[in-house]
A = this chain, B = another copy of it.
Amino acid sequence: MVTIYDIAEKANVSAMTVSKVINNTGRISEQTRKRVKKVMEELNYIPNSNARSLVLQQTQILSLLITDITNPFYTSLARGAEDSAKKLGYRLLFGNSDEDYDKEQDYVDMILSTRVDGVLFAPAGDHSLKHLEKLRAHNIPFVIMDRAVPGIESDIVSGDSMQGARNLVDYLISLGHRRIALVNGSLDVSTARLRYQGYAEALQLHGIALDDRLVIHKSYREYKDEDQLPHLLEQPSPPTAIFAANNFLAVGVINALRQRGIRVPEDMSVVCFDDLDLSSALDPFLTVAAQPAYQFGAMGIQLLVERIQGSAVPEARKIILPSELIIRSSAKTIGK
């Protein structure tokens, strides 16, 4: 690999001069500047960012840690993050935690040893706390995405889970449903708690008693049918509608329903959080509370870079992006 020393030698200057030309610092005559640049091109010089990072104590690398790249929500988020990062001159190191705390831990160590300038962090859940504390202990700026973690004050970009949940449940109620089930993520995750809360509030406001037999808290990432539908359907008074706390769960629920010969929405209404992108484009079926996932990523990187560059206010900034209720056809008036 060619280094600034190679350039220096061929251009008959010192390495420092080359460095100055590269960074446009110091006083260099137009003449030598051109000569040096020409040699750089001739030799196909590419600066070694490792060396640079070592002395500058900054890498121009940000880390994006999410829980599942195959979920369209995070896919779009990643897209937004990537676009922003590129614009701002940062590279992106990528990690997928699968909502698994051990994997998340591995990535945190990787992040620390890479000396990234900052992290866009979508936590697996509440126990991500110690990972975030570790980052903080090492002075790595981060912005939390999507899920708040109790015990950590930091910049965060999240959706309005309560409002979204309330809107969905309000909508179901407006269609005449009274027995509404919630298939939720784990209560370890802030958004699951808030969606539950929004669900409960909506019911309460309409004078419907909360029935805990209609609520299941499991994982956002895997839908295991034996843990879910049977509990709901084999009840004296089964639900007429199901609110799935995210897109994955909705797909799982709908498939499981269909396998039992239960039609959606004729026999059972289903709504959920997060949209399905391509799927919805092909077949506008699922009624959802859609979140602006791309914005999550784009804004997250912006906040992060402001934080890194010190141009942010010292206080933690909390951005809450509203979700949009998109009414399609997976829910319908009860009994019709």
Top 7 A-B pairs, shortest CB-CB distance = A279-B279, A94-B94, A46-B112, A50-B53, A49-B113, A50-B50, A251-B282
Taking CB as reference atom, which chain B residue is nearest A89? B110
Residues B91 and A91 in contact, CB atoms below 8 Å apart: no
Q: Please name all residues of chain B whose beta carbon is closer than 8 Å to the beta carbon of A282 when the two chains form the complex.
A: 250-251, 254-255, 276, 279, 283, 285-286
A197 to chain B, nearest CB (A): 27
A47 to B112, CA, bound (A): 8
Contact B251 A281 (CB under 8 A): yes
Chain B residue at minimal CB-CB distance from A96: B82
Most chain B CB within 10 A, of A86, A95, A283, is at A283
Instruction: Show the binding face of A for B, using Cβ within 8 Å.
Output: 1, 44, 46-51, 53-54, 59, 61, 64, 69-70, 72, 75-76, 78-79, 82-83, 86, 91-96, 103, 106, 109-110, 112-115, 137-138, 247-248, 250-251, 254-255, 276-279, 281-283, 285-286
Residues of B within 8 A of A283 (CB): 279, 282-283, 285
A106 touches B92 (CB 8 A): no
Contact present for B115 and A49 (CB under 8 Å): yes
Partner of A49, one of B46, B114, B254, B278: B114
Are A91's CB and B114's CB within 8 A? yes
Q: Which B residues touch A1, using CB under 8 A?
A: 115, 138
Cα(A272)–Cα(B69), bound, Å:
24
- Measured in the bound complex, the distance between the Cα atoms of B113 and A282 in whole Å is 41
Nearest B residue to A250 via CB reads: B282
Given contacts A75-B70, A278-B279, A285-B282, is CB(A46)–CB(B94) below 8 Å?
Answer: no
In angstroms, how far is the closest chain B Cβ from the Cβ of A301?
A: 13
Query: In the complex, what's the smallest C-beta–C-beta distance from A136 to chain B, in angstroms?
Result: 12
Contact of A46 among B61, B79, B113 (CB under 8 A): B113
A48 and B78 contact, CB distance less than 8 A = no
A48–B96 contact, CB under 8 A?
no
Residues of B within 8 A of A277 (CB): 70
Chain B residues contacting A113 (CB-CB under 8 Å) are: 46-49
Determine the distance from Cα of A75 to Cα of B69 in the docked complex, in whole angstroms: 7
Residue among A54, A92, A94 having the largest count of chain B Cβ atoms under 10 Å? A94
Pick the contact of A247: B91, B115, B278 (CB < 8 A): B278
- Cα distance A41–B151 in the bound complex, in angstroms: 24
Distance, CA A47 to CA B138, complexed state (A) = 12
Chain B minimum-CB-distance residue to A63:
B91
Expressed in whole angstroms, the Cα–Cα distance for A110 and B247 within the complex equals: 35
